[in-house]
Amino acid sequence: KTFRPRKKFEPGTQRFELYKKAQASLKSGLDLKAVVQLPPGESINDWIAVHVVDFFNRINLIYGTMSEYCTEKSCPIMSGGLKYEYRWQDDNKYKKPTKLSAPKYMCMLMDWIEMLINNEDIFPTRIGVPFPKQFQQVCTKILTRLFRVFVHVYIHHFDSIINMGAEAHVNTCYKHFYYFIREFSLIDHRELEPL
């Protein structure tokens, strides 16, 4: 239920080319701080869109690999330790911030993000179609909530990640995510306190 089909970029599109550049940079062993910088002459919204979709795919995979350890019983509250609790609100079914178990929160989160990134009015894929004015606000909300997945995984399930031998992958993904959100000031610094 937590696994989703990967969102792909159409070959031949500008976003596909940006995605290939980002992937090539990551695989070349470059400094992650440099990798996240906007390539000269590229649109910041395209660059953010490519990364939001890529982070969604990667973080969904990370959570999916350890989701069997994150159960209603083990994680009855979506939290980041004793100090941080995350409540779900989507202005649809959950109009007020609502306490959910971590698995339920994750499921709601992945469904919500998938719905947004597949919405052509928010993440347009056709050339010449502009991004909406609130695009970066939407991305900030998506990235803030994806950050909470890292918080939960690191604080509550990192032993499972180590047992699977996946800590290097998770750490690299987190560093890439962290440098990206800092480069473009996409998450309020108070949200970053748990890690």
d(CA 78, CA 131): 32
The answer on whether 173 is annotated among ligand-binding residues is: no
Under 8 Å between Cβ of 174 and 148: no
User: Which tokens go with 157?
Assistant: 């399930």
Instruction: Identify the CA nearest to 169 among candidates 69, 14, 82, 64.
Output: 64
Q: Is 189 one of the annotated binding-site residues?
A: no
Cα–Cα distances in Å, from 145 out to 2, 39, 120, 141, 151? 15, 26, 21, 6, 10
Cβ count near 125 (within 10 Å): 16
Ligand-binding site membership of 75 (annotated): yes
d(CA 90, CA 96): 8
Residues contacting 101, CB < 8 A, separation 6+: 72, 75, 76, 77, 78
Q: Is 157 flagged in the annotation as binding?
A: yes
What is the DSSP code string of 28-47?
TT--HHHHTSPPTT--HHHH
In the annotated binding site, the residues are 70, 75, 152, 157
Binding residues for Zn(2+): 70, 75, 152, 157
